Structure 1
């Protein structure tokens, strides 16, 4: 039997934040952004809530019908996605800026954890490596509840979008945050782009690109 998937809305916000937090609070990248565990347990939800709000407003959020898995996506057009006054950052966290106005990563840091430089750094680093030469679907975050991992829920969420990419001739992009997810995405047709994003004194991330399948 297939996995039932629906588009999440504002009414799902609190449930999705709890799911994201439970699934990702010990992820290598989350642990790097918030190295102190007690602080992470207090603040991690605020960062994920900010990402979710942007996705609900500017991208789209798919959730399994039982609420056990969720994916945050953006449809990214061709061309530069840095702060230019009229668009979001390529990492989904940008809000655009003009002279004298803070850009997306800086605003995110100020809103979530002002004393934590790493909130801003990771946004700038991912934005700097984000492909700009072809329009694509960007998988920003995916999470499966710890009690439901290994059931294929994450694969179902990703495959639903990749099937549309194949039908419509769209590319897809993501940054894998650990070796296990990197290998999973490789089985779904994503290819490592050749150079890891090495967080300062932290773990690597694997930029991965997928060509549409005919």
Structure 2
């Protein structure tokens, strides 16, 4: 990996995280299915910014990787303690139809399809993670995820995530995750995999 510094995120990172995640997710199968093509990157950025600002930083955990000028990778987790963010999650859900635009129906049906496969036990949930396309292939994906895995291990709880890219499954398996569900999303949506990693001592 190059000499990027991995550190906990803070409110001053919000815009940089949003920019990086918007670039990373601009052509991601899930976001293409659930967020309107009209002004797509701006919509994805707004969604990522809201999640970081209202959920990740105040109620979860965020790690960032700094390049020479700005954030080049970020990982945002919710934790068992994030259950206190109920009002923030409700507010975000209320904003989702406007962000999704004409794909709001697809976003709703995708969430309904995945909900039965999500854990009911306490977990560290890797809600969003991305590396700016200009900095991919340098080991940053693993590096930005590992602090959250270590924290989940220290807490003695599993880690969980979902991905809609088949190529990501092998990457996460190398980090100790196992597939717990493979879901064909309705309305022509992409296959989405649920993955769980048992805590390590």
In the other structure, the counterpart of 2:22 is: 21
More helix by share: 2
Normalised by the length of structure 1, the TM-score is 0.79
* Equivalent residue runs for 1:53-64 within 5 Å: 53=53, 54-64=55-65
**How many residues are paired up?**
194
User: Within the alignment, does 1:30 sit opposite 2:39 as a pair?
Assistant: no
CA RMSD in angstroms, aligned pairs only: 2.6
| d(CA) in 1 for partners of 2:144, 2:72 | 11
In the other structure, the counterpart of 1:155 is: 142
For CA contacts below 8 A with separation 6 or more, give which structure has more relative contact order. 2
Where does structure 2 lack aligned partners over 5 or more consecutive residues? none
In 2 relative to 1, CA 165–113 (structure 1 residues): closer, same or farther, beyond 3 Å? closer
In 2 relative to 1, CA 120–57 (structure 1 residues): closer, same or farther, beyond 3 Å? farther
| 8 Å Cα contact 2:50-2:92 kept in structure 1 | no
Deviation sequence 1:74-106 (CA, Å, 0-9, x none): 1036xxx7xxxx6539xxx833xxxxxxx863x
In the other structure, the counterpart of 1:94 is: 89
Deviation sequence 1:164-194 (CA, Å, 0-9, x none): 333332211000221111110001100000x
| 8 Å Cα contact 2:73-2:140 kept in structure 1 | yes
Where does structure 1 lack aligned partners over 5 or more consecutive residues? 96-102
User: Within the alignment, does 1:202 sit opposite 2:198 as a pair?
Assistant: no
In the other structure, the counterpart of 1:68 is: 72
In the other structure, the counterpart of 1:40 is: 40
Normalised by the length of structure 2, the TM-score is 0.84
In the other structure, the counterpart of 1:118 is: 106
| d(CA) in 2 for partners of 1:126, 1:94 | 17
| d(CA) in 2 for partners of 1:88, 1:126 | 19
In the other structure, the counterpart of 1:100 is: none
Question: Residue 151 of structure 1 aligns to a residue in which SS?
Answer: coil
Alignment partner for residue 96 of structure 2, among 109, 116, 119? 109
| d(CA) in 1 for partners of 2:6, 2:112 | 32
User: Within the alignment, does 1:192 sit opposite 2:193 as a pair?
Assistant: no
| 8 Å Cα contact 1:9-1:56 kept in structure 2 | yes
| 8 Å Cα contact 1:23-1:143 kept in structure 2 | yes
In 2 relative to 1, CA 61–87 (structure 1 residues): closer, same or farther, beyond 3 Å? closer
By how many angstroms is 1:35 displaced?
5.5
| d(CA) in 1 for partners of 2:184, 2:89 | 21
| d(CA) in 1 for partners of 2:76, 2:34 | 19
